[in-house]
Amino acid sequence: MITINLLHPVNSNPVQTWRFSSKDVIRIGRSKDNSVVVLSSVVSRHHAELRRQKIGWEVHSFGANGTYVEGKQVTQAKIVDGTVIRLANSGPRIQVRLDADESSPKVELESEMIDALDEMELSEEEQANQNPNERPTLTNI
């Protein structure tokens, strides 16, 4: 699930919240045909999109006044849990909250690395009989 909080301009508390459990694209802007409608004169009708990727989420900016992630203007950026996006330089801020399964990559690569290391392990006898220059390393696998 992804949760989007519109933040209060002064104290950063959420003033409006949207939750989505099955969308792959969440459109943000002033127009009523967006998933998240933000009524502000500096927000474009179709300002930005959040897109689900194989691993995590990304924001894509279409707004004439720009989109800012953690204070930096972006056209596209990765989103992690807690990321704050500002719509336009002086516009409203939204915070993206991701469930654990949405925010971090699966541990598949780590598991593959452990399997490769396990295959590299030799018994003490095999190690003693092997030329040190022929021992497998991560660089020659």
In this structure, what DSSP letter does residue 133 have? G
Output the tens digit of pLDDT for each of the chain's 141 residues.
Answer: 999 999 999 999 999 999 999 899 999 999 999 999 999 999 999 999 999 999 899 999 999 999 999 899 999 999 999 999 999 999 999 999 998 655 444 444 455 555 555 555 555 556 666 665 655 555 544
Residue extents of the structural domains in the chain: 2-103, 108-136
Q: For tokens 């696998």, name the residue.
A: 141
Distances (CA, A) of 83 to 54, 72, 108, 138: 18, 12, 24, 35
Rounded to whole angstroms, how far apart are CA atoms 58 and 8?
Answer: 23
- The residue behind tokens 């909080």 is 5
H/E run at residue 95: strand 93-98
Query: What per-residue confidence (pLDDT) applies to 99?
Result: 86
**H or E segment and range at residue 78:** strand 76-79
Name the amino acid, one letter, at 3: T
Predicted local confidence at residue 107, as pLDDT:
42
- In three-state secondary structure terms, 2 is strand
DSSP 66-91: -EEETTEEESEEEE-TT-EEEESTTS
Note the CATH number of domain 2-103. 2.60.200.20
Is 7 in contact with 93 (CB distance < 8 Å)? yes
CA angle 38, 39, 41 (to 5 degrees): 120
pLDDT for 96 equals 98
